Amino acid sequence: MCYVVAMEADGTAKDVTRRYAKAYTAKTRRLRVESVVDDGDAWWRRVMKLFGRIRLTDLDQIEDNELAGAEAREPMPRNVQDFKNHPVYALERHLRRHEVLVPGATPSGTVGAGSRGPLEKIYRRKDVCIARSAAKWYRLGREVKPNEIPAKWLPKKANAKPSRLGGPDEAEAEAEDQAGTPVYRHDQTEAYEPAPVRNGRVPKNKFGNIEVYVPSMIPRGAVHIVHEHAVRAALTLGIDYAPALTGFQFRGRQGTAVLHGIVVAAEFDEAVRAVVVGLGDAEQEAADERRRLGVLVMWRRLLMGLRIRERIWSGVDADERKEEETRAEMEAGVGDAASDATEEFDMVFDEDGEGGGFLVE
């Protein structure tokens, strides 16, 4: 029994599986769409919202509290397998690759894998956090604090290949050694503070751009201008700028850097934006001029055709000219009309010589 949906007389419906399932969180939930499909919980809520009431009544609120209480009163699972992906409890053996326990996590109990298996500690799911490598924290706008001990060492991937582009994989590969990749918790990191702008010069990396994965990575005293004419505007003004590297686009195993806008000193912000507006106006004027020239070419072609036609008919009187035009129109109509000629068919002779119903002499 995976789904129990109660129907009302007014056509509304509600999911009441938690009322009738014996172990909803430990067993039933693992068979539902919430656990089988990514983002299945949100999808199921959207589906049930189509059959729900616009305004909840007092009875609906009482029923919701009853279902939530039934789920909260569900006892702790008794076997190891039911702890996998459990929303409330977790075992250390079921932690994913980038999941670690927070410092000072207190066990809520123990469970054994069989009668002779060793006892394993049971932790609350809220005591499990995500750990990331230093390179991934950097792409989130954070950096690892000095002298921090890694929360976990991830083993090296068996088929790991170096990236052909010096991107995020390169920094992560440099941090790897024989022990694997060190990962850190959120509390082991701090907000990344980029080098500030000095004398109108924007700090750049070895590739000549600046990494702006999140807005907090913009240097102090700089602005991020996103426009297709931003580079031309900076070159026109002759100021220092740096293309903004906002991420990487991967196709297969190859990555391509995504440059989106430029970063300039804040003192040149208004000047760059003014030049950008001017370049946009100039481009629009050029497009209008090209369109105008195209229209003039078409009109010239039409007038030249009319002049040639008038020169051809200049020595012909009006009656003959009208008669010739009428005959040309008739010939054009006859050429387009379907032929009324009788279609010819091949005569078929019977091989047995009976003459197709006539007596053969």
What pLDDT, in 10s, does the model give residues 196-241?
999 989 999 999 999 999 999 999 999 999 999 999 999 999 999 9
Q: What is the rounded CA–CA span in Å between residue 205 and residue 207?
A: 5
- Please tell me the predicted confidence (pLDDT) of residue 84: 87
- Please tell me the predicted confidence (pLDDT) of residue 38: 78
Q: What is the rounded CA–CA span in Å between residue 101 and residue 123?
A: 9
Q: What is the rounded CA–CA span in Å between residue 148 and residue 188?
A: 7
Higher-pLDDT residue of 348, 39: 39
The two tokens of residue 116 are 């002779």
| DSSP states along 82-130 | GGTT-SSEEEGGG--TTEEEPTTPPP-EEEESSSSSPEEEEEEGGGEEE
Confidence category of residue 164, pLDDT binned at 50, 70, 90: very low
| CB atoms closer than 10 angstroms to residue 69 | 10
Confidence category of residue 174, pLDDT binned at 50, 70, 90: very low
Q: What is the rounded CA–CA span in Å between residue 180 and residue 234?
A: 44
The amino acid that residue 277 corresponds to is: V
- Please tell me the predicted confidence (pLDDT) of residue 30: 83
Each residue's pLDDT tens digit, 132-147? 999 999 999 999 999 9
| DSSP states along 48-67 | HHTTS-SS--HHHHHHHHHH
Confidence category of residue 297, pLDDT binned at 50, 70, 90: very high
Report phi then psi at 264, rounded to 5.
-130, 170
DSSP 179: T
Question: pTM (2 decimals)?
Answer: 0.69
Q: What percentage of the chain carries pLDDT values higher than 90?
A: 42
Confidence category of residue 127, pLDDT binned at 50, 70, 90: very high
- Give per-residue burial for 188-211: e unless 16+ CB within 10 Å, then b: bbeebebeebeeeebebeeeebbb
DSSP 201: B
> Average pLDDT for residues 289-296, to the nearest whole number?
96
Task: Assess contact for 41 and 52: CB atoms under 8 A.
Answer: no
> Average pLDDT for residues 288-294, to the nearest whole number?
95
**In the predicted structure, residue 89 carries a pLDDT above the cut 70:** yes
> What's the angle, vertex CA 236, arms to CA 289 and CA 225, rounded to 5?
95
Report phi then psi at 31, rounded to 5.
-100, -5
Sign of torsion over alpha carbons 215, 221, 225, 231? negative
> Average pLDDT for residues 170-180, to the nearest whole number?
55
Confidence category of residue 32, pLDDT binned at 50, 70, 90: confident
Task: Assess contact for 244 and 263: CB atoms under 8 A.
Answer: yes
- Please tell me the predicted confidence (pLDDT) of residue 175: 47
The two tokens of residue 100 are 């670690």
| CB atoms closer than 10 angstroms to residue 345 | 6
Task: Assess contact for 263 and 222: CB atoms under 8 A.
Answer: yes
Task: Kindly give, in sequence order, each residue whose CB lies less than 8 Å from that of residue 106, ignoring residues fewer than 6 positions away.
Answer: 123, 127
- Please tell me the predicted confidence (pLDDT) of residue 35: 79
Confidence category of residue 115, pLDDT binned at 50, 70, 90: confident
**In the predicted structure, residue 272 carries a pLDDT above the cut 80:** yes
Q: What is the rounded CA–CA span in Å between residue 172 and residue 58?
A: 55
DSSP 221: T
Sheet holding 89-91, edge to edge: 89-91, 119-124, 109-112
pLDDT, the chain, mean: 84
Task: Assess contact for 266 and 280: CB atoms under 8 A.
Answer: no
| CB atoms closer than 10 angstroms to residue 225 | 21
Sign of torsion over alpha carbons 346, 352, 353, 359? negative
